Structures are given as structure tokens and as C-alpha cells.
Amino acid sequence: MFKKQTLKNGIRLITAPLKETQTASLLVLFKVGSRQEAKRIEGVSHFIEHMMFKGTKRRPTTLDLSKELDGIGAEYNAFTGKDVTGYYIKTDSRHLSLAIDMLSDMLGDSLFSAEELEKEKGVIVEEINMYEDNPLMYVEEMLEEMLFDGGELGHMIAGSRETVRSLDRKKILEYKNNYYSGANVVIGLAGKFNQTQLKELRTKFVFSKGRKSKIKKSTIKQVAPRVNLKHKETEQVQVALGFPAFSHHDKRSYALQLMSVILGGNMSSRLFINVREKKGLAYFVRAWPNLYEDAGAMVIQAGLDKARIEEAIVTILGELNSMKAGVTGEELKRAKDFIAGKMALDLEDSMSIAQWYANLELSDKKLMTPQEKLKKLMAVTSGDVKKVANDIFDLKRSNLAVIGPFKDGKRFKKLLK
């Protein structure tokens, strides 16, 4: 069972002890990401994440940080999203005190040296190059940039080469000090730990309370289909098709999650069977909901045969239309059993438990156990799924991102009418 407490500096701490494990997972989330960034400093949230690994006063270099954690076999990393930045360490519970000391040191006392900052600009520019050279990854960014056109959720997480190169130490620290405050922090701790380690955690994470970050609510005003085409000489075409959905606070999100499983969530889904197995049009095809606290999208992604691209897209659209006609009771039951099984497997891991509760708290959702969420999923009916499909799959609100050896986007736009 989990426990929530709020520290004096505003940090929300969620703890979830697990009896049958020897590991402990410590996750620190900040309510800040690319959507908080002004145009001129796009990429700064991601840049700050990188700089946290470049040394502190007590551990002046990257090597000083990494060799301590490598020395105990810990798993550690960080990530930046549209609305969150996270840092984590998973370790043998005997070394949890080191993990607490390490993360509190990095997040509270990193040097942000001018020399390291300039070097890291080159690293991040190469990371941007890597993403753009990988169509499988980049097509998702293209889709969200188009789908949330003009809104904060359309910002590229890594920024652009120009904005990254223009960042200076003063801008970075001003931004960090504004958002890295107690009111924006959620800490999740799951696994095996004791009261002494809990006391260390409450004592060592020192932030000013600050103010909770706010977002500008995203609105998608779309009345016609859109296509974002990037010409690239590839053998396989990468396609991402997206439709505006709703926030993760919306009660329909449970039906949407089940619909996405039936449509393209596993190897027995409609898209996998009909696009890949029956017609051989794709190596991979999948569908998933991408929901934020104020908006969201339903996404279908596939790697397609360039010689049969129109046939593949028409087949995918046909499956979306079929979803609007409804799903069978058997399909719905299989989807529910699939999610229940995945949750059971995932939540054997202490890090998954830490993420579960910390993400709920950060997004201001009511804290619930996995079992409570499963109960809500099990209550979804076939009619609920059909209604969600009809609410979402409107071709007038479709967005298609394509990376492949094509120069004319009109050929794809015709398919969306």
C-alpha cells in the first residue's frame, strides 16, 4: 500500500513498500518540460537534464558520479518529456542511502560549469541529428508538431540546433531556478527501505518551496485533414496518423485505452492481423493513446512498403472505420485480460511502482492503486468503446506525418477525404 506526505518545502513524497524484493527505486519528477519553454529557449528543459550529470561540488566530474553508481550495479538515467523531467536510480536496497545522496546532490548542487555547458551543446546537436536521421523516432515528433500546431505541446523536446546553440548559462539557471522548486517536485520511492533511509530522503532534498508551474491549456481547432511530409530516400516509409483525443483526466480514457489495444496494441490486434499478417504491407504497425493533462491524441504508426503506400494507408483507414462500427464482446474481454496481465508483470518491478504513483501525483490525478484502475477498466462496455471510436476517428481532424522518398503531399491528403 502507498503512503503520501507533503514536506515543508512542498515536495510530495509517495512511498510504496514491497515485501518480496531486494531492490529500491528512487524517482524524482519535476513538473516542467518542453511545453513550458518560450520559443527562443526551446530545448532548455532537456539541456538542464543533461547538465545534471556533469558534476557537483562534491563530485566534480561526470566520472565521479558514474563510477559510484556503476560500482554498485545501479540502473540510473533521466528523461525529458513535454510536461515532465525525471531522474531515477534503481539499486540493491543496501545502497539506497547512496542513491538518495547522489540524486539530492545532483539536483541540488550541480555546477553547470560554462566549459561543460559549451561542450554539451555539441552533444545535444548530435542527439538532434540522431533523431532526425532515425525516421522511426522522428515521425512521432513531426506528428505532434503538426497536431498541436501553434500550441505548447507542439514544441520539439530537444529544441532546434539554433536554440540549443544560443542558450547561455544565465538563461539556463534562471529557467532551472524557476521550475526546480519544491512545489513542482514529486518523489516516488518503492521497494525495500527502512525508516532511517526515509529520514535521509526527507532531509537531503532541499529546495525552496516556490510556485507550482502552470500550463496554457491546449486547444486544437482543426476542420480539415493535414499532412506533414519529409522527403528522405528510404526503403521503408514511416507513417504516423494522429487524431485529437482528450486529456488523461477524462473518464473516456479507460475506453480509449482498451480501444487502442483492440486496434493495434498487440500481435492479435486488428491492425497487426490485417495490415501485416494478411496483406504483408508492414513489418510493424501499432496504435496507442498519448494523453496529457489538458489534451491528447490517438496515434497509429507503421513502417510501410513504399511501393504499396496508398494501399497500406487505405487499409489502416478501413480499420479505423471498422472500429466505429463497434467491437465484439470477445475482443473487449481479450483486451481487458491483456491489460490486466501486462499490469501484473510490470508492477512486479519496484521502478514501475514508483512511476505509477509519482506520475499520477505529478499530473494531479487522484492516487489509485493498480487494482482500482483495473476495476474501472473492467467496467468499460462495448458501447463505451464504440462511442470513443466515433468521437475520435473523424478524417476532418486527421493528421498524417510521412517520412519517405516522396515530394508531393497531395497524394496523401486525397486519401484522408
Percent helix, percent strand, percent coil in the chain, to nearest 5: 50, 20, 30
Residues with Cβ within 8 Å of 119's Cβ and at least 6 positions away in sequence, in order, are none
pTM equals 0.95
What is the C-alpha to C-alpha distance for residues 167 and 260, in angstroms, rounded to an integer?
40
What is the C-alpha to C-alpha distance for residues 26 and 1, in angstroms, rounded to an integer?
17
Continuous segment of H or E residues that includes residue 323: helix 309-325
Instruction: Say which of 37, 42, 49, 145 is annotated catalytic.
Output: 49
**What pLDDT is recorded for position 36?**
95
What is the identity of the amino acid at 120? Answer: E
**What pLDDT is recorded for position 297?**
96
**What pLDDT is recorded for position 216?**
83
Q: What residue ranges define each of the domains in the chain, with the CATH number in brackets?
A: 3-204 (3.30.830.10), 226-416 (3.30.830.10)
Helices (H) and strands (E) in the chain, counts: 16, 11
Q: Give residue for cell 542511502.
A: 97
What is the C-alpha to C-alpha distance for residues 116 and 310, in angstroms, rounded to an integer?
48
Catalytic residue at 49?
Answer: yes
Cα 169 vs. chain centroid, distance in angstroms?
Answer: 27
**What pLDDT is recorded for position 249?**
93
Continuous segment of H or E residues that includes residue 174: helix 169-179
| Three-state DSSP string of 218-286 | CCCCCCCCEEEEEECCCCEEEEEEEEECCCCCCCCHHHHHHHHHHHHCCCCCHHHHHHHHCCCCEEEEE
Q: Give residue for cell 532534498.
A: 205
**What pLDDT is recorded for position 366?**
86
Residues with Cβ within 8 Å of 110's Cβ and at least 6 positions away in sequence, in order, are 51, 52, 54, 55, 56
Kindly state the greatest CA–CA separation across the chain.
Answer: 64
Cα 194 vs. chain centroid, distance in angstroms?
Answer: 31
Kindly give the confidence (pLDDT) of every residue in the chain, 417 residues in length, as a single tens digit, with 9 standing for 90 and above: 899 999 999 999 999 999 889 999 999 999 999 999 999 999 999 999 999 999 999 999 999 999 999 999 999 999 999 999 999 999 999 999 999 999 999 999 999 999 999 999 999 999 999 999 999 999 999 999 999 987 899 999 999 999 999 999 999 999 999 999 999 999 999 999 999 999 999 999 999 999 999 888 888 888 899 999 999 999 999 999 999 999 999 999 999 999 999 999 999 999 999 999 999 999 999 999 999 999 999 999 999 999 999 999 999 999 999 999 999 999 999 999 999 999 999 888 999 999 999 999 999 888 999 999 999 999 999 999 999 999 999 999 999 999 999 999 999 999 998
The backbone region for 48, taken as left when phi is positive above 0, alpha when psi lies in -120 to 50, beta otherwise, is: alpha
All three cell numbers of 381, joined, read 462496455
- Of the CA atoms within 13 Å of residue 368, those in its CB half-sphere come to 11
**What pLDDT is recorded for position 24?**
98
Q: Give residue for cell 512542498.
A: 10
**What pLDDT is recorded for position 82?**
96
Question: In this structure, are strands 12-17 and 185-191 parallel, antiparallel, or unpaired?
Answer: parallel
